[in-house]
Amino acid sequence: MRSKLFAKLRGAPTAREGSGRRTATALLTGLTLVGGFAAAQPAAADAAAAPEAAAPKLVKESQDRTRTYHLNIDWKNDYDNLGKAVTGLEKSGAVKTASALSVAQSAQHTGRKGLCHNTELDGTLKWDGFCWDPKDDAGKDWTPQGLTGSHDANRTGTIDGHHLYVASWHGAGGNKGHRVSIAESDGTKMTYGHVLLVRPTGGAQGFAPVDGRHADGVVWYGSKLLVANGNELEVYDMRHLWKMDSREERVGMSGGKASARWHDWALPMVARYTTGPRDGAPGACEPGGPGTICLSSLSLDRASGTLVSGEFTKHHGGGRIARWSLDEATAMPKSTTSDNVGTAQASVSYVSPVSDMQGVASDGETFYMAGLCPGDDPEKDAQYSCLQYAAPGGEVRTLTKGPIYTQNLSWDPNAKRLWGLNERPGKTVVFSIKTTR
């Protein structure tokens, strides 16, 4: 599969697609442009051709280095106590549960089918997708980061026969929290609802906001929703999705009514891992190493049963990509101890040459990475991203340009399509493409 992919992508004609515009460029062999006209290049006997610069590679790290990357968990405080608090609140009747499908079909918000903004995606890759409603698209209050869906949640790729999508957002414009949106897009309409992420407290308040987080990435695996925040991995349980009684600014219980900062639903945390010390500040990690690994993006590789994390390194390459084995029984990182839930260790890691890498996904053989296009000026604002690809240890090549500031990527193994989203206010889309022409 890998060799076929690379053969199809090398030297293939490209197309620019967006807002109804399409242009094509052809590869000219043995010609160069002189004063705007095509002219024959000098023969090798007359002038030696300049050697082509070698493409950068996705480099595997040593196993000794990989073994230093951990997901640490305080079993009592960051798992057991959280679970008891969730169970206690539900048994008291203070909150009622809802389903992910009911949130998506609530039509609290109605998006737009298709890509409503220019994306620069290659038209031969048969792009598709959807857009948020105009207010969420504007991005004044919330900024999208991660993307997952029912294609990650289970092997069938659906929830009760429906294709659902989940995006994570961090607060903007004074908002402190982070949330997820649960959406359904069936090709004819797109509806969704917003869910605030909260931490159960076990006291009279019941639950509290989880503020100061970036919601860097998200993966829906089994019943769990895994959310990355730099140096921490938060775990939420979709079986405990709570319907609120009241739309107020406060978060928690008051007067027998549940509220979640103007949201109709809240999702409680059930576990929390850190890549460094438990009491480290949110985001306290070292992108590019050699110390505490960062979780700047997340995706699921169902072929290998691993969580894939990536690091964002500003204006240069060197971000680390790591695989973390998952336990299908718990739908959480696989413990290295005898406990079902415990510290986990990365199984393999790589160093990526992609600058400003915002997203990484894998189909089991090839890694796809979203970041700055090769040769682009990192100081320039509002540039279109590039989606690049490489086999482990192989050369990194460009697949296509993509939306401005493309963020997380997600691989759908059933449809064999690559999904992604971007964060540019006023030009936000959720897209999918084929990876072969």
Each residue's pLDDT expressed in tens, for the chain with a length of 437 residues: 444 444 444 334 343 434 433 333 333 333 333 333 333 333 343 445 555 678 899 999 999 999 999 999 999 999 999 999 999 999 999 999 999 999 999 999 999 999 999 999 999 999 999 999 999 999 999 999 999 999 999 999 999 999 999 999 999 988 889 999 999 999 899 999 999 999 999 899 999 999 999 999 999 999 999 999 999 999 999 999 999 999 999 999 999 999 999 999 999 999 999 999 999 887 899 999 999 999 999 999 999 999 999 999 999 999 999 999 999 999 999 999 888 999 999 999 999 999 999 999 999 999 999 999 999 999 999 999 999 999 999 999 999 999 999 999 999 999 999 999 999 999 999 999 999 98
Please report how many Cα atoms fall inside a 13 Å half-sphere around the Cα of residue 324, on the Cβ side.
Answer: 33
| Ramachandran class of 46: left when φ > 0, alpha when ψ lies in -120 to 50, beta otherwise | alpha
Q: State the sign of the Cα–Cα–Cα–Cα dihedral 423, 425, 426, 427.
A: negative
Show Cβ contacts of residue 367 under 8 Å, excluding neighbours closer than 6 positions: 58, 308, 321, 350, 352, 360, 361, 389, 390, 391, 392
Measured in whole angstroms, the distance separating CA 267 from the mean position of its chain's CA atoms is 19
Q: Are 294 and 284 in contact (CB under 8 A)?
A: no
Q: Which amino acid is at 84?
A: K
Rg (C-alpha) for the chain, rounded Å, is 23
pTM: 0.88
Other C-beta atoms within 10 Å of 178: how many? 27
Q: Which residues, listed in sequence order, are joined to residue 404 by a DSSP beta bridge? A: 384
Tokens for 331? Answer: 């739908």
Residue listed under structure tokens 């399409």: 22
